[in-house]
Amino acid sequence: MKKAFITGIAGFVGQHLARLLLDTGHTVSGIYCMDSDLPAIEPEIRKNLTLYQCDITDKQAVAGVFSNINVDVVYHLAAVSHVPFAEHNPARAFDVNTMGTWNLLDAVKDIPHSKFVLISSCEVYGRQSCGRRLFTESDPVLPSNVYGVTKASAEMLCNSYAHRYGLRTIIFRPFNHIGAGQACTFVASDFARQIVRIERGDVAPEITVGNLDVMRDFSDVRDVVSAYIIAGETISDNGLFNVCSGNPITIRTLLDTLLSIANADISIKVDTEKFRKNDNDYFGGSYKKLFDRTGWKPVIPLEKTLTDILNYWRKQSYVKY
Ligand code: A2R
Protein backbone atom coordinates (compact mmCIF):
# COMPACT_ATOMS: atom_id res chain seq x y z
CA MET A 1 0.00 0.00 0.00
CA LYS A 2 1.49 3.34 -1.04
CA LYS A 3 1.80 5.99 1.63
CA ALA A 4 0.66 9.43 0.50
CA PHE A 5 0.99 12.66 2.45
CA ILE A 6 -0.97 15.83 1.62
CA THR A 7 -0.27 19.34 2.87
CA GLY A 8 -3.39 21.51 2.77
CA ILE A 9 -5.49 18.37 3.15
CA ALA A 10 -8.51 20.32 4.46
CA GLY A 11 -8.50 22.66 1.45
CA PHE A 12 -10.59 22.39 -1.70
CA VAL A 13 -8.16 20.30 -3.74
CA GLY A 14 -6.72 18.48 -0.73
CA GLN A 15 -10.07 16.90 0.07
CA HIS A 16 -10.64 15.74 -3.50
CA LEU A 17 -7.11 14.34 -3.62
CA ALA A 18 -7.51 12.55 -0.29
CA ARG A 19 -10.76 10.96 -1.46
CA LEU A 20 -9.26 9.64 -4.70
CA LEU A 21 -6.11 8.38 -2.97
CA LEU A 22 -8.22 6.47 -0.43
CA ASP A 23 -10.43 5.11 -3.22
CA THR A 24 -7.34 3.84 -5.03
CA GLY A 25 -5.94 1.98 -2.04
CA HIS A 26 -3.45 4.41 -0.53
CA THR A 27 -2.87 5.20 3.09
CA VAL A 28 -3.27 8.93 3.48
CA SER A 29 -1.97 11.35 6.05
CA GLY A 30 -1.66 15.09 5.95
CA ILE A 31 -1.30 18.51 7.44
CA TYR A 32 -4.12 20.91 8.17
CA CYS A 33 -3.57 24.38 9.54
CA MET A 34 -6.32 25.57 11.84
CA ASP A 35 -8.74 23.86 14.20
CA SER A 36 -11.45 25.51 12.16
CA ASP A 37 -10.28 23.57 9.05
CA LEU A 38 -11.09 20.14 10.47
CA PRO A 39 -14.89 20.23 10.21
CA ALA A 40 -14.39 21.01 6.50
CA ILE A 41 -13.25 17.42 5.94
CA GLU A 42 -16.18 15.05 5.51
CA PRO A 43 -16.36 12.63 8.49
CA GLU A 44 -16.44 9.63 6.10
CA ILE A 45 -13.04 10.64 4.75
CA ARG A 46 -11.63 12.01 7.98
CA LYS A 47 -11.96 8.71 9.82
CA ASN A 48 -9.53 7.12 7.34
CA LEU A 49 -6.87 9.82 7.57
CA THR A 50 -3.97 10.46 9.90
CA LEU A 51 -3.93 14.19 10.49
CA TYR A 52 -1.34 16.60 11.88
CA GLN A 53 -2.06 20.18 12.79
CA CYS A 54 0.89 22.24 11.62
CA ASP A 55 1.60 25.68 10.23
CA ILE A 56 4.10 25.10 7.44
CA THR A 57 5.78 28.42 8.14
CA ASP A 58 6.99 26.90 11.43
CA LYS A 59 10.17 25.08 10.43
CA GLN A 60 10.52 23.13 13.65
CA ALA A 61 6.92 22.02 13.62
CA VAL A 62 7.28 20.79 10.03
CA ALA A 63 10.47 18.89 10.91
CA GLY A 64 8.64 17.38 13.89
CA VAL A 65 5.80 16.05 11.73
CA PHE A 66 8.16 14.31 9.32
CA SER A 67 10.68 13.05 11.89
CA ASN A 68 8.75 9.89 12.69
CA ILE A 69 6.87 9.02 9.55
CA ASN A 70 7.58 7.21 6.34
CA VAL A 71 5.96 8.45 3.14
CA ASP A 72 6.27 7.57 -0.53
CA VAL A 73 4.81 10.73 -2.06
CA VAL A 74 4.25 14.17 -0.52
CA TYR A 75 1.65 16.23 -2.38
CA HIS A 76 2.26 19.83 -1.37
CA LEU A 77 -0.94 21.83 -1.78
CA ALA A 78 -0.90 24.07 1.31
CA ALA A 79 -0.75 27.66 0.17
CA VAL A 80 -2.16 31.11 0.10
CA SER A 81 -4.16 30.13 -2.97
CA HIS A 82 -6.16 33.25 -3.73
CA VAL A 83 -4.46 35.68 -6.11
CA PRO A 84 -6.01 38.93 -4.74
CA PHE A 85 -5.30 37.88 -1.13
CA ALA A 86 -1.62 37.37 -2.02
CA GLU A 87 -1.55 40.78 -3.73
CA HIS A 88 -2.81 42.45 -0.53
CA ASN A 89 -0.78 40.28 1.87
CA PRO A 90 2.54 39.74 0.09
CA ALA A 91 4.56 38.98 3.23
CA ARG A 92 2.15 36.24 4.27
CA ALA A 93 2.04 34.86 0.74
CA PHE A 94 5.84 34.59 0.61
CA ASP A 95 5.96 33.15 4.10
CA VAL A 96 3.51 30.36 3.29
CA ASN A 97 4.08 29.68 -0.40
CA THR A 98 7.85 30.13 -0.57
CA MET A 99 9.28 29.67 2.92
CA GLY A 100 6.67 27.02 3.76
CA THR A 101 7.75 25.04 0.70
CA TRP A 102 11.37 25.41 1.78
CA ASN A 103 10.56 24.05 5.25
CA LEU A 104 8.83 21.05 3.72
CA LEU A 105 11.62 20.33 1.23
CA ASP A 106 14.12 20.43 4.06
CA ALA A 107 12.11 17.92 6.09
CA VAL A 108 11.27 15.58 3.21
CA LYS A 109 14.75 15.42 1.67
CA ASP A 110 15.88 13.06 4.45
CA ILE A 111 13.08 10.52 3.94
CA PRO A 112 14.54 7.70 1.83
CA HIS A 113 12.90 7.10 -1.59
CA SER A 114 10.37 9.87 -1.09
CA LYS A 115 8.98 11.97 -3.89
CA PHE A 116 7.91 15.61 -3.54
CA VAL A 117 5.05 16.85 -5.71
CA LEU A 118 4.81 20.64 -5.71
CA ILE A 119 1.54 22.17 -6.82
CA SER A 120 2.62 25.43 -8.42
CA SER A 121 0.40 27.46 -10.77
CA CYS A 122 -0.07 28.71 -14.32
CA GLU A 123 0.35 32.19 -12.79
CA VAL A 124 4.12 31.67 -13.10
CA TYR A 125 3.71 32.38 -16.85
CA GLY A 126 2.30 35.83 -16.11
CA ARG A 127 1.08 38.30 -18.67
CA GLN A 128 3.18 37.43 -21.71
CA SER A 129 2.70 38.87 -25.16
CA CYS A 130 2.31 35.41 -26.60
CA GLY A 131 -0.94 36.11 -28.40
CA ARG A 132 -3.62 33.63 -27.50
CA ARG A 133 -1.71 30.42 -27.95
CA LEU A 134 -1.50 27.72 -25.29
CA PHE A 135 1.32 28.02 -22.77
CA THR A 136 3.76 25.12 -22.73
CA GLU A 137 6.25 24.23 -20.03
CA SER A 138 9.11 25.67 -22.11
CA ASP A 139 7.60 29.18 -22.06
CA PRO A 140 9.52 31.64 -19.88
CA VAL A 141 8.59 32.11 -16.24
CA LEU A 142 7.50 35.76 -16.03
CA PRO A 143 5.00 36.11 -13.19
CA SER A 144 3.14 39.41 -13.13
CA ASN A 145 1.62 39.25 -9.66
CA VAL A 146 2.72 38.41 -6.11
CA TYR A 147 1.09 34.99 -6.13
CA GLY A 148 2.92 34.04 -9.34
CA VAL A 149 6.25 35.15 -7.88
CA THR A 150 5.71 33.11 -4.71
CA LYS A 151 4.96 30.01 -6.79
CA ALA A 152 7.89 30.62 -9.18
CA SER A 153 10.27 30.91 -6.23
CA ALA A 154 8.82 27.72 -4.70
CA GLU A 155 9.55 25.97 -8.02
CA MET A 156 13.15 27.22 -7.94
CA LEU A 157 13.61 25.90 -4.41
CA CYS A 158 12.20 22.57 -5.50
CA ASN A 159 14.64 22.37 -8.40
CA SER A 160 17.54 23.30 -6.16
CA TYR A 161 16.67 20.46 -3.73
CA ALA A 162 16.49 18.05 -6.65
CA HIS A 163 19.97 19.07 -7.77
CA ARG A 164 21.61 19.43 -4.36
CA TYR A 165 20.10 16.44 -2.57
CA GLY A 166 18.82 14.18 -5.31
CA LEU A 167 15.25 14.63 -4.05
CA ARG A 168 12.79 13.38 -6.66
CA THR A 169 10.43 16.22 -7.46
CA ILE A 170 7.48 16.77 -9.76
CA ILE A 171 6.17 20.27 -10.33
CA PHE A 172 2.63 20.82 -11.57
CA ARG A 173 1.34 24.05 -13.03
CA PRO A 174 -2.42 23.70 -12.74
CA PHE A 175 -4.59 26.16 -14.64
CA ASN A 176 -8.01 27.06 -13.20
CA HIS A 177 -9.73 24.11 -11.62
CA ILE A 178 -13.25 24.07 -10.28
CA GLY A 179 -15.59 21.75 -8.42
CA ALA A 180 -17.77 21.09 -5.42
CA GLY A 181 -16.49 22.58 -2.20
CA GLN A 182 -14.48 25.43 -3.71
CA ALA A 183 -14.60 28.78 -1.90
CA CYS A 184 -16.88 31.50 -3.23
CA THR A 185 -13.90 33.73 -3.87
CA PHE A 186 -13.43 31.66 -7.07
CA VAL A 187 -15.59 32.47 -10.04
CA ALA A 188 -17.54 29.24 -10.71
CA SER A 189 -18.51 28.87 -7.04
CA ASP A 190 -19.43 32.55 -6.83
CA PHE A 191 -21.76 32.30 -9.84
CA ALA A 192 -23.26 28.96 -8.75
CA ARG A 193 -23.98 30.21 -5.25
CA GLN A 194 -25.69 33.34 -6.59
CA ILE A 195 -27.78 31.21 -8.96
CA VAL A 196 -28.92 28.92 -6.15
CA ARG A 197 -29.94 31.90 -4.03
CA ILE A 198 -32.01 33.12 -6.98
CA GLU A 199 -33.52 29.64 -7.54
CA ARG A 200 -34.59 29.64 -3.88
CA GLY A 201 -36.21 33.04 -4.25
CA ASP A 202 -33.87 34.57 -1.65
CA VAL A 203 -32.83 37.43 -3.94
CA ALA A 204 -33.93 39.15 -7.15
CA PRO A 205 -33.19 37.21 -10.38
CA GLU A 206 -30.05 39.15 -11.24
CA ILE A 207 -26.49 37.83 -11.06
CA THR A 208 -23.62 40.23 -10.37
CA VAL A 209 -20.44 39.52 -12.26
CA GLY A 210 -16.99 40.98 -12.89
CA ASN A 211 -15.02 41.04 -16.14
CA LEU A 212 -16.61 38.49 -18.48
CA ASP A 213 -14.06 38.91 -21.25
CA VAL A 214 -11.00 37.36 -19.58
CA MET A 215 -10.15 33.87 -20.78
CA ARG A 216 -9.35 30.99 -18.50
CA ASP A 217 -8.60 27.30 -18.94
CA PHE A 218 -11.00 25.42 -16.64
CA SER A 219 -10.64 21.79 -15.57
CA ASP A 220 -12.67 19.68 -13.19
CA VAL A 221 -10.81 19.28 -9.89
CA ARG A 222 -11.42 15.50 -10.09
CA ASP A 223 -9.47 15.37 -13.36
CA VAL A 224 -6.73 17.49 -11.84
CA VAL A 225 -6.20 15.29 -8.78
CA SER A 226 -6.12 12.20 -10.98
CA ALA A 227 -3.25 13.83 -12.90
CA TYR A 228 -1.40 14.41 -9.63
CA ILE A 229 -1.79 10.78 -8.60
CA ILE A 230 -0.91 9.27 -11.98
CA ALA A 231 2.26 11.34 -12.18
CA GLY A 232 3.06 10.83 -8.49
CA GLU A 233 2.87 7.07 -9.02
CA THR A 234 4.45 6.61 -12.41
CA ILE A 235 7.11 9.26 -12.92
CA SER A 236 10.32 8.36 -11.19
CA ASP A 237 12.59 11.16 -12.41
CA ASN A 238 12.03 14.89 -12.02
CA GLY A 239 9.33 16.53 -14.07
CA LEU A 240 7.42 19.73 -14.79
CA PHE A 241 3.89 19.58 -16.19
CA ASN A 242 0.94 21.80 -17.00
CA VAL A 243 -2.46 20.46 -15.94
CA CYS A 244 -5.28 22.02 -17.93
CA SER A 245 -8.06 21.45 -20.42
CA GLY A 246 -6.26 22.91 -23.42
CA ASN A 247 -9.51 24.72 -24.23
CA PRO A 248 -9.57 28.25 -22.78
CA ILE A 249 -12.96 29.96 -22.67
CA THR A 250 -14.20 33.37 -21.64
CA ILE A 251 -15.84 33.82 -18.25
CA ARG A 252 -18.91 34.78 -20.30
CA THR A 253 -19.03 31.25 -21.75
CA LEU A 254 -18.70 29.78 -18.26
CA LEU A 255 -21.57 31.98 -17.07
CA ASP A 256 -23.76 31.22 -20.11
CA THR A 257 -23.26 27.49 -19.57
CA LEU A 258 -24.24 27.80 -15.90
CA LEU A 259 -27.28 29.90 -16.76
CA SER A 260 -28.36 27.34 -19.38
CA ILE A 261 -28.61 24.66 -16.68
CA ALA A 262 -30.08 26.90 -13.95
CA ASN A 263 -33.72 26.53 -12.93
CA ALA A 264 -34.49 30.24 -13.23
CA ASP A 265 -34.49 33.11 -15.72
CA ILE A 266 -31.62 35.33 -14.65
CA SER A 267 -30.34 38.67 -15.90
CA ILE A 268 -26.72 39.76 -15.72
CA LYS A 269 -25.35 42.86 -13.98
CA VAL A 270 -21.70 43.74 -14.62
CA ASP A 271 -20.05 45.36 -11.58
CA THR A 272 -16.74 47.02 -12.50
CA GLU A 273 -15.81 47.04 -8.79
CA LYS A 274 -15.38 43.29 -9.20
CA PHE A 275 -12.74 43.72 -11.92
CA ARG A 276 -9.35 42.64 -10.63
CA LYS A 277 -6.49 45.08 -10.92
CA ASN A 278 -3.33 43.59 -12.39
CA ASP A 279 -5.30 40.63 -13.76
CA ASN A 280 -4.02 38.50 -16.61
CA ASP A 281 -6.63 38.57 -19.35
CA TYR A 282 -5.69 35.20 -20.81
CA PHE A 283 -4.59 31.81 -19.54
CA GLY A 284 -4.66 28.77 -21.76
CA GLY A 285 -2.39 25.77 -21.42
CA SER A 286 -1.25 22.69 -23.29
CA TYR A 287 -1.26 19.35 -21.45
CA LYS A 288 0.58 17.58 -24.27
CA LYS A 289 3.72 16.96 -22.22
CA LEU A 290 1.75 15.25 -19.45
CA PHE A 291 -0.29 13.27 -21.98
CA ASP A 292 2.81 12.09 -23.83
CA ARG A 293 4.40 11.01 -20.58
CA THR A 294 1.46 9.42 -18.75
CA GLY A 295 -1.55 9.24 -21.07
CA TRP A 296 -3.49 11.61 -18.79
CA LYS A 297 -6.11 13.81 -20.36
CA PRO A 298 -9.17 15.57 -18.94
CA VAL A 299 -12.35 13.49 -19.28
CA ILE A 300 -15.08 15.37 -17.42
CA PRO A 301 -17.08 17.77 -19.64
CA LEU A 302 -17.59 21.35 -18.45
CA GLU A 303 -21.40 20.93 -18.35
CA LYS A 304 -21.04 17.99 -15.94
CA THR A 305 -18.64 19.93 -13.73
CA LEU A 306 -20.95 22.94 -13.58
CA THR A 307 -24.03 20.79 -12.93
CA ASP A 308 -22.21 19.14 -10.02
CA ILE A 309 -21.18 22.54 -8.63
CA LEU A 310 -24.77 23.80 -8.83
CA ASN A 311 -26.03 20.63 -7.15
CA TYR A 312 -23.42 21.05 -4.42
CA TRP A 313 -24.74 24.53 -3.65
CA ARG A 314 -28.35 23.33 -3.89
CA LYS A 315 -27.57 20.84 -1.09
CA GLN A 316 -26.22 23.52 1.26
CA SER A 317 -28.95 24.39 3.74
CA TYR A 318 -27.81 27.98 4.12
CA VAL A 319 -26.11 29.84 1.27
CA LYS A 320 -24.74 32.91 2.96
CA TYR A 321 -23.58 35.86 0.96
O1 A2R B 1 -5.60 28.84 5.50
P2 A2R B 1 -6.42 27.62 5.87
O3 A2R B 1 -6.50 27.40 7.35
O4 A2R B 1 -7.76 27.54 5.19
O5 A2R B 1 -5.61 26.34 5.32
C6 A2R B 1 -5.18 26.31 3.99
C7 A2R B 1 -3.83 25.62 3.93
N8 A2R B 1 -2.80 26.52 4.42
C9 A2R B 1 -1.85 26.14 5.28
N10 A2R B 1 -1.56 24.96 5.83
C11 A2R B 1 -0.53 24.90 6.69
N12 A2R B 1 0.24 25.98 7.01
C13 A2R B 1 -0.02 27.20 6.48
N14 A2R B 1 0.71 28.26 6.81
C15 A2R B 1 -1.11 27.32 5.57
N16 A2R B 1 -1.64 28.35 4.88
C17 A2R B 1 -2.67 27.84 4.18
O18 A2R B 1 -3.68 25.28 2.56
C19 A2R B 1 -6.01 25.42 3.08
O20 A2R B 1 -6.60 24.37 3.78
C21 A2R B 1 -4.97 24.88 2.08
C22 A2R B 1 -5.14 25.45 0.69
O23 A2R B 1 -6.43 25.14 0.28
P24 A2R B 1 -7.30 26.10 -0.64
O25 A2R B 1 -7.08 27.52 -0.22
O26 A2R B 1 -8.68 25.55 -0.68
O27 A2R B 1 -6.57 25.97 -2.05
P28 A2R B 1 -6.83 24.88 -3.18
O29 A2R B 1 -7.78 25.43 -4.15
O30 A2R B 1 -7.11 23.58 -2.56
O31 A2R B 1 -5.42 24.88 -3.90
C32 A2R B 1 -4.46 23.85 -3.68
C33 A2R B 1 -3.17 24.23 -4.37
C34 A2R B 1 -2.57 25.53 -3.84
O35 A2R B 1 -1.18 25.35 -3.76
C36 A2R B 1 -2.90 26.54 -4.90
O37 A2R B 1 -2.01 27.61 -4.87
C38 A2R B 1 -2.82 25.68 -6.15
O39 A2R B 1 -3.36 24.42 -5.76
O40 A2R B 1 -3.59 26.19 -7.21
For residue range 155-164, list pLDDT tens digits in order.
999 999 999 9
Please give the number of the atom of ligand 1 that sits closest to the Cα of 40.
20
Say if CB 299 and CB 230 are below 8 A apart: no
Instruction: Specify the residue with its C-alpha closest to ligand 1, atom 10.
Output: 33
- SS3 assignment, position 197: helix
Name the nearest CA neighbour of 8 among 184, 183, 243. Answer: 183
d(CA 78, ligand 1 centre) in Å: 4
* Whole-number Cα distances in Å, 317 to 43, 130, 133: 18, 45, 42
Most confident of the following: 36-50, 126-140, 241-255, 304-318: 241-255
Nearest to 101 by CA among 216, 8, 206: 8
Tell me how far apart the alpha carbons of residues 265 and 174 are, in angstroms, rounded to a whole number. Answer: 34
Report the sign of the C-alpha dihedral through residues 139, 213, 296, 163, in that order. Answer: positive
Nearest CA to ligand 1 atom 33: 77
pLDDT digits (tens, 9 = 90+) for 248-262: 999 999 999 999 999
CATH no., domain 184-216+247-283+301-315: 3.90.25.10
Q: Tell me how far the alpha carbon of residue 269 lies from the centroid of ligand 1, in angstroms.
A: 31
pTM as predicted = 0.96
Q: Where are the domains of the chain?
A: 3-177+218-243, 184-216+247-283+301-315
Tens-place pLDDT, residues 196-235: 999 999 999 999 999 999 999 999 999 999 999 999 999 9
Mutation test residue for ligand 1: of 77, 122, 219, the one with most atoms within 8 Å of CB: 77
Cα(263) to centroid of ligand 1, in Å?
Answer: 33
8 Cβ inside 6 Å of ligand 1: yes
Nearest in space to 169 (alpha carbons), one of 117, 124, 99: 117
Q: What is the mean pLDDT of the chain?
A: 94
Residue 70's Cβ-side half-sphere holds a number of Cα atoms within 13 Å equal to 4
Task: Tally the C-alpha atoms within 13 A of residue 65's C-alpha that lie toward its C-beta.
Answer: 28
* CA–CA dist 252, 8 (Å, integer): 31
Residue 86 contacts residue 150 (beta carbons within 8 Å): yes
pLDDT digits (tens, 9 = 90+) for 262-321: 999 999 999 888 777 667 788 999 999 999 999 999 999 999 999 999 999 999 876 554
CATH number, domain 3-177+218-243: 3.40.50.720
pLDDT value, residue 61: 97
- Tens of pLDDT along 90-109? 999 999 999 999 999 999 99
Among 81, 147, 151, 283, residue to substitute to test ligand 1 (most atoms within 8 Å of Cβ)? 81
